[in-house]
Amino acid sequence: MALSAKMQSARVVAGRRVMATAPRMAGVVAPRFGASAVREVSAVAPRTTYRASRSSRVVVEAAKKSVGDLSKADLEGKRVLVRADLNVPLSKSGDGSISDDTRIRAAIPTLKYLMENGAKVLLTSHLGRPKGEDKAADKAKFSLAPVVGRLSELLGAPVTLVDDCIGAPVEEAVSKMSNGELVLLENVRFYKEEEKNDKEFSKKMAANADLYVNDAFGTAHRAHTSTEGVAQELSPAVAGFLLQKELDYLDGAVQQPKKPFVAIVGGSKVSTKITVIEALLDKADKIIIGGGMIFTFYVARGLTVGGSMVEEDKLELAKKLEAMAKEKGVELLLPVDVNVADKFDAEANNQIVDVDAIPEGWMGLDIGPKSIELFNAALADAKTVVWNGPMGVFEFPKFAAGTTGIANTLAELTPKGCITIIGGGDSVAAVEQAGVAEKMSHISTGGGASLELLEGKVLPGVAALNEK
């Protein structure tokens, strides 16, 4: 029931699959959702502020100052440095074409707002993982040049790529700009100083700008020059519409959710979700556990789980989490049946069994139908739901029913007034696969950033911005 890539890193010990390496965070999966400003939702109770819309619904507002708080008088003629996340996947054919433009589309509302209000926009981002040692080699593989055409098309305006992100090339490009124009600065990670949050590099980036906008939630948990350092050099430093929306939902709705609040936590390993579960125990009324991590809980309870993956060194932790839930009065729900396979393969033989009857050598790859029914009943009265992590190996059709079932249930709850938040990572791919992404209240654009915000951690890229 783990994620496919992770299952391959397990070894078999006494008939059970045991993690062989130190746990790693799941990779970020880019979602597909229409770029928009703050979505209106019914009855959210965040720790921040509210305002009534014309349709009498409630709009959540974050405590950080937003680009929407800046008027034409604040922006016209000003040089605005915008950090966006344009780290788009490129086609494997090597022709430089973009295979998914989601992140570009997500940045458009902020960019258009600035341009329409007469700002001179200096757009910065990273792409890929350049080493920052050989600029020529990095440029050949990680230039932002492939982004220019699609960005220009979506903005309905020409976009010029500047051959650097600091120094004379940027200064010269800015000197030629008219109000309402945009230039794209070359990959900020061509400089090693970016990830080191170097003070002098921050000053160089800020030298050609008057104010700063961070709209890159996916990197907001990193204290880098373009996400944190520059914000210390420019004022005002504000959130873009996309970043604001992430904070509205993940910080606002989760910190003071409308009750009942149900959290769904899935994925392969307990170890990657420890702090998330512990943080949610202080907020949620119910926590639903799915994915490969359930078998660690079962073994901690004294059950045998066949060849299913187990983190042997986390058995005491599983017991502790169940005890904490009981102490806090939080209902912790685990599956009662599972879809097991005789091998980790899309075409494996499979059968549905109760969790106390898993055959020797078989491994759980999804939750069973009785568990789906149990979880749906637990979700029926929910007013806020946060989902992070799939219920099983949804990449394999035979083992996708649990994840798809949860996705469909949340899609049905949204129009009934429930706030449904997909907290980044593989959950995003899951709702995409189920075809219900557009029916969720919010889909997060950040995997690691989403997790850290749910854990209650301070994101450096957010903390650096001005308060309202």
Q: Of 6, 64, 78, 103, which one is the catalytic site residue?
A: 103
Question: Are both 174 and 303 inside the same structural domain?
Answer: no
Answer yes or no: 425 catalytic: yes
Catalytic residue among 17, 269, 314, 383: 269
Same domain, 396 and 308: yes
Q: Look at residue 118 and tell me if it is in a domain.
A: yes
Contact 235, 28 (CB under 8 A): no
292 found inside a domain? yes
The residues pairing with 52 across neighbouring beta strands, listed in sequence order, are: 58
The answer to the question of residue 38 being in a domain is no
Residues 20 and 386: their CA atoms lie apart, in Å, by 30
Q: Which of 239, 258, 289 is the last residue of a domain?
A: 239
Same domain, 339 and 440: yes
Name 124's bridge partners: 83
The reported pLDDT for the residue numbered 71 is 97
376 occurs within a structural domain: yes
Q: For position 195, what pLDDT does the model report?
A: 94
Handedness of CA 381, 383, 388, 393 (dihedral sign): positive
User: Which H helix or E strand runs over 339?
Assistant: strand 337-341
**Is 398 inside any structural domain?**
yes
Query: One of 306, 368, 424, 448 is an active-site residue; which one?
Result: 448
CA proximity to 288, closest of 276, 301, 302: 276
| 234 lies in the same domain as 266 | no
One domain, residues 209 and 302:
no
Q: Give yes or no: residues 202 and 273 share one domain.
A: no
Question: In Å, how far are 365, 400, 428, 441 from 434, measured between CA atoms?
Answer: 18, 9, 10, 16
Please report the pLDDT score of residue 17 as a whole number: 36
Domain end position, chosen among 239, 266, 296: 239
The answer to whether the CB of 318 falls within 8 A of the CB of 368 is no
What is the pTM assigned to this prediction? 0.74
Task: Burial-class residue 154 by CB neighbours within 10 Å (0-12, 13-18, 19+).
Answer: middle
Residues 6+ apart with CB under 8 A from 437: 31, 32, 33, 422, 428, 431, 443
Rounded CA gap, 389 and 276, in Å?
11
Task: Looking at the structure, tell me whether residues 295 and 344 fall in a common domain.
Answer: yes
Q: Are 203 and 259 found together in one domain?
A: no
397 and 324 belong to one structural domain: yes
Tell me how far apart the alpha carbons of residues 463 and 228 are, in angstroms, rounded to a whole number. 8
Is residue 31 reached through a cis peptide bond, with omega within 30 degrees of 0 on the bond before it? no
Residues 197 and 226 in one domain: yes
**pLDDT recorded at residue 246:** 87
Tell the burial category of 14 from Cβ atoms under 10 Å away from its Cβ (0-12, 13-18, 19+): exposed
Last residue of a domain, one of 239, 269, 303: 239
CA–CA dist 412, 410 (Å, integer): 5
Which residue is catalytic, options 389, 425, 446, 447?
Answer: 425
Number of domains in the chain: 2
Number of H helices, E strands in the chain: 18, 20
55 in a structural domain: no
The CATH code of the domain that includes 165 is 3.40.50.1260
Say yes or no: 274 and 129 in one domain: no
* pLDDT computed for residue 65 by the predictor: 92
**pLDDT attached to residue 1:** 52
Domain range for 110 is 67-239
Q: What is the block-wise mean pLDDT of the chain (468 residues), using blocks of 10 residues? A: 38 33 29 30 31 29 82 98 91 76 91 98 95 83 94 97 97 98 97 95 97 92 92 96 88 83 90 87 95 96 95 94 96 98 96 97 97 98 94 95 96 96 82 91 80 80 90
Q: Is the peptide bond before 260 cis (omega within 30 degrees of 0)?
A: yes
In a domain, 423, yes or no: yes
Residue 8, in any domain of the structure: yes
Q: Find, among 269, 277, 265, the residue nearest to 422 by Cα.
A: 265
How many Cα atoms within 13 Å fall on the side-chain side of residue 71? 1
| Contact indicator for 455, 279 with CB cutoff of 8 Å | yes
Residue 424: what pLDDT? Answer: 66
Q: Are both 449 and 364 inside the same structural domain?
A: yes
